[in-house]
Structure 1
Amino acid sequence: MIQVEGLTRTYGGFTAVDDISFVAQPGRVTGFLGPNGAGKTTTMRVMVGLTPPSRGRVTIGGHVYHDIPNPGRHVGVLLDASAQHAGRSGREILTIGARTMGLPDARVDEMLALVSLSPEESKRRLRNYSLGMKQRLGIAHALLGDPSVLILDEPANGLDPAGIRWMRGLLKGYADRGGTVLLSSHLLHEVEMIADEMILIGRGKIVAQGDKKTLLDRGGAPSTLVTSLDNGALAAALQGKGIPLVAAGEGLKVEAPAVEVGRTALEAGIVLTDLRFGGAGLEELFLELTSDTQREGHIEGASA
């Protein structure tokens, strides 16, 4: 478990993280979401002892990171996939990590296979890796010590769609086995599919947190996308119940839960060909709550 209590980090007169508190629970994926420069990376750096807090504290399993013996066996970290010696090969980087943690060299082969880096790729120097390969190597290094907690900052950067899908499956499986996952991203869709809890941060402050349903309830009425064999008749049936709707693509966007739309279609004898959660609600809520941070020139490295 990761517990953040009243965490604040200032740089001179600038406050990068402003009195935030949250908990990432075992067995769950917690999405840490916010625009570039929102304070995500600073928070994670404090978690793993790279940046001291100005106030407050972060504990992992009840301990400050510096007090955890052999921390790589308990906490897997990926903050910057390029933060390794560029002249070392992927295998060398993992081997050094394994020996530092007191692990057998066989663990290196297990991790290389897990992240689908071939023997030939593992012998290449890091400087010759693509960003996606660096991300895979970074994930392998984070998992090397079989930790109970994972802290990952933008792990999907550079991965192709297949790689992102692989990563989601990997992290979901890890959480299902009881692990704690804190997953940072400035792109909502990267984590929306797997996150059990979501924390939205903007300008160093938490603007919303909770599970997907809770956040959508805060954002107002849910929306559903629906297509049928007779959209006109379906629209009339829904409007007869006073349910707002608008045309959307080949179907309708309805301001009601999917179950209500389906029930109305059944009562009217209308065959549905597509029925899904609207999906834009959470993104719209996210943009609304962090609207004052959505501007050009706001760079994560400058104020993260």
Structure 2
Amino acid sequence: MIKVEGLTRKYGDFVAVDDVSFTCQPGRVTGFLGPNGAGKSTTMRVMVGLTPPSSGQVTIGGLRYQDIPNPARHVGVLLDASAQHGGRTGREVLALGARTMGLPASRVDEMLALVSLTPSEAKRRIRNYSLGMKQRLGIAHALLGDPKVLILDEPANGLDPAGIRWMRGLLKGYADRGGTVLLSSHLLHEVEQIADEMILIGRGRIVAQGTRQSLLDGHAGQKQTLVTSLDNAALAAALAGKGVAVEPAGNGLRVSTTTDQVGRAAIEAQVVLTDLRDGGGGLEELFLELTADTQREAPASLAAPTPEGTIS
């Protein structure tokens, strides 16, 4: 288990991480999400003893990282896939790691096979690796000691779609076997598909945390539903009769109520539905809303010109 308590890290007057607290549980993947510069990497560096905290603490299994005997056997870390010596081969990197951890040489071949680096790729100098190959090697090194905890910073960078799917399956299987995974990213859609818990950070502070559904439920505004039917006019009339706001949306309707209420109204009006879905913006909209003051780009609704050509 990873436990972060009141963590703050300052650089002069700049506060990179501001009183951050959260817990990552065994058997679960925790997504650590935020825009670039939000404080994710700084938090992870403090976790593994590379950056001292200004206040607060992080413990892993009840100990600070620097107090764990042979820590790489207990905590697998990938913070920068490009940090390895470019003149070494992939196999040499893993062999040195195995020797340092007191592992048998056979563990190197196991990890190379696990991350699908071929024998010829393993003999290649890292300076000649693609970013995706460096990520695979970094994941292999993190898993080398068969740790109980994984701390990974942006591990999907450089992976192609097949590689991202492979990584999702690998980390989900690791958590299913009881491992603790902390996975940072600014790629919301990728983390959303694998994370059991999500922590959203902006400007060094936690702005929300919980499961996907609890985050959406906790920040729900007016419910919106998109619906298409064989008789949109009849459905709109039935909904309006119940006092529900309805407006055209493409080939269907946008309705200011929940999907189940729309379904019930359709049954009562004997209207066949051909499409019914939640019309809310989902987690991405919530993420952008909660971290709006950290975004370089203005929301599209603010940036788009009005028909008169002015900014609304």
Whole-angstrom distance in 2 between the partners of 1:7 and 1:219: 25
Higher relative contact order (CA 8 A, sep 6+): 1
Indicate how the Cα distance of structure 1 residues 124 and 16 shifts in structure 2: closer, same or farther if over 3 A, else same. same
- How far the C-alpha of 1:148 sits from its partner, in A, is 0.9
Unaligned runs of 5+ in 1: 297-304
Indicate how the Cα distance of structure 1 residues 205 and 157 shifts in structure 2: closer, same or farther if over 3 A, else same. same
Q: 1:283 corresponds to which residue?
A: 284
- How far the C-alpha of 1:256 sits from its partner, in A, is 4.2
Give deviations 1:80-116, integer Å, cap 9, x for gaps: 0011011111111111112211222222222222212
The one-letter amino acid of 1:16's match is: A
- How far the C-alpha of 1:267 sits from its partner, in A, is 4.2
Whole-angstrom distance in 1 between the partners of 2:262 and 2:285: 21
- When the two structures are superposed, what TM-score results if normalisation uses the length of structure 2? 0.87
Indicate how the Cα distance of structure 1 residues 134 and 285 shifts in structure 2: closer, same or farther if over 3 A, else same. same
Alignment RMSD: 2.1
Whole-angstrom distance in 1 between the partners of 2:123 and 2:254: 52
Q: 1:103 corresponds to which residue?
A: 103
Q: Are residues 1:210 and 2:210 paired? A: yes
Q: Is the 8 A contact 1:132 1:157 kept in 2?
A: yes
- When the two structures are superposed, what TM-score results if normalisation uses the length of structure 1? 0.89
Q: 1:300 corresponds to which residue?
A: none
The one-letter amino acid of 1:284's match is: E
Q: Percent same amino acid at aligned positions?
A: 80
Tell me the number of residue pairs that the alignment of Structure 1 and Structure 2 aligns. 296
Whole-angstrom distance in 2 between the partners of 1:189 and 1:5: 28
Whole-angstrom distance in 2 between the partners of 1:252 and 1:117: 50
Q: 2:144 corresponds to which residue?
A: 144
- How far the C-alpha of 1:218 sits from its partner, in A, is 2.4
Whole-angstrom distance in 1 between the partners of 2:12 and 2:124: 42
Give deviations 1:255-286, integer Å, cap 9, x for gaps: 54444444444444444444444572221121
Whole-angstrom distance in 2 between the partners of 1:114 and 1:76: 15
Q: 2:14 corresponds to which residue?
A: 14
Whole-angstrom distance in 2 between the partners of 1:265 and 1:46: 55
Q: Is the 8 A contact 1:171 1:181 kept in 2?
A: yes
The one-letter amino acid of 1:193's match is: Q
- How far the C-alpha of 1:168 sits from its partner, in A, is 1.3
Task: Return the index of the structure with the highest Cα Rg.
Answer: 2
- How far the C-alpha of 1:228 sits from its partner, in A, is 4.0
SS in 1 for 2:201: strand
Unaligned runs of 5+ in 2: 298-312
Q: 2:173 corresponds to which residue?
A: 173
1:73-84 equivalent positions in 2, closer than 5 A: 73-84=73-84
Q: 1:295 corresponds to which residue?
A: 296
- How far the C-alpha of 1:56 sits from its partner, in A, is 0.5
